[in-house]
Amino acid sequence: MRGSGYCPSVESRLATRVSTAVAGLSPGYFALVMGTGIISVGMDLNGHRWVSRVLLVICAVAFVVLFALTLMRIIGFWERLADDFTNPSRGFGFFTFVAGTNVLGTRLLMGGHHFWTAVLLGASSAGWLVLGYVVPWTAVLGRSARPVVATANGTWFIWVVSSQSVAVAAASLQPFTHAWRPGLAVLAVVAWSVGVALYAAAGIFVSLRLLLYELQPEDLTAPYWVAMGAASITVLAGARIVEMAGAPMVDATRGLIAGSSVVLWAFATWLGPVLAAAGWWRHVANRVPLVYDATLWSLVFPLGMYAVAGIYLGQADHLPLVGSIGSGELWAALTVCGLTMIAMVVHLVRTVALPGGPAASGEPAFRQAWPGRQGSPKKRSAEPARRKQGSPKQE
């Protein structure tokens, strides 16, 4: 073995880097599945089949890999997982599993795979119910530190996205089944209604955090774009419900949901320039480096979701202008997705595959700069004590 140049320590060091990366796996990494999946949906709607299929393969592979890594983390690094559940800045990232599962299921439905869509919808609905009660308690209500609103950030909108993803999947599957048609109609309308209420609540909490507490450029991370994504998926869910087969729950709310969807699409459109300006202030005006981290997929998904929501709403409510805007936005989302994918591959090669990267020194490769662990340590340590205690800023 020595003569062949084999070095057993190389394999062990690689295993150590992989183990370190798994231990620090971001709870929001299923946003990768959400982003690639929703752009695949949009490309299929616009007739770009081969692009859609490539993205579907990436989406499915990412889902399987992330699911396996999450199971490994549950078994081998339970304490690290529990720490994420109790952190209000990261706990809501677990809802990306629900949303990613439903995005993949919806795309599979478009290919005629009704059975797998039903299986994924069942799993995601169970996860939505469990996480919907566990995460708010462990990350927010169960904490003794107050005020919790000081830790609110864009990841809180992922709870909204997960609710609306259940509505989208249920509404999409409902016309293809007879036995479960009434139940799926109820699930779709209830999930949509809960999502709307959660959007209002998350908007209030995040707005209070932005208005009452000191805001550093490092704080305006990519997950704030989920505010636009949450509004957009609410539009998509509403459009899908409007197109559902007749059912008492749907018939009673069809007009309300159709009108609300148009209003929310307008609001999502208004949010786009606001979020872009915030990004300019962060990266250009204050020169915060734009480097890859897991949160960038929280930017890809809203762009893709806004595009798909516009396409669907244009079809459902006969609004050709809205549909055209969505079709144009889809190409921008694809471009951002491609750049983010390249950056992710380069990042993982440097941090996991090659020796000497952050994972080799104990820094999680999959967690890089998820909200709650961002910014320069020196700058953070120099902030006033009142910010660390969570007290509102005073004029």
Radius of gyration, CA atoms only, the chain: 21
What is the tens place of the pLDDT at every residue in 202-222?
Answer: 999 999 998 888 888 888 888
What is the tens place of the pLDDT at every residue in 237-290?
Answer: 998 998 887 778 788 888 889 889 889 999 999 999 999 999 999 999 999 988
Higher pLDDT, 74 or 313: 74
Give the pLDDT confidence score for residue 302 in this predicted structure. 96
Token pair 């929001």: residue: 28
Give the pLDDT confidence score for residue 82 in this predicted structure. 87
Domains of the chain: 11-368 (1.50.10.150)
- Output the average pLDDT for the chain: 85
Helix axes 31-45, 320-348, angle to 10 degrees: 140
What tokens does 194 get? 């809960």
Alpha-carbon distances, residue 60 vs 38, 67, 309 (angstroms)? 12, 11, 22
pLDDT-derived band of residue 200, with 50, 70 and 90 as boundaries?
A: very high
Give the pLDDT confidence score for residue 357 in this predicted structure. 56
What tokens does 196 get? 């709307």
Token pair 């069942």: residue: 122
Confidence (pTM)? 0.85
Alpha helices in the chain (DSSP H): 8-23, 31-45, 49-76, 78-85, 95-110, 114-136, 158-173, 181-212, 226-242, 248-280, 297-316, 320-348, 377-381, 385-388
What is the tens place of the pLDDT at every residue in 93-135?
Answer: 999 999 999 999 999 999 999 999 999 999 999 999 999 999 9
* Percent of the residues in the chain that have a pLDDT greater than 70, as a whole number: 85
pLDDT-derived band of residue 10, with 50, 70 and 90 as boundaries?
A: low
Angle at CA 255, nearest 5°, toward 249 and 261? 105
Give the pLDDT confidence score for residue 372 in this predicted structure. 47
For the ranges 27-41, 123-137, 173-187, the lowest mean pLDDT is seen at 173-187
Is the model's pLDDT at 388 over the cut of 70? no
Token pair 């660390």: residue: 388
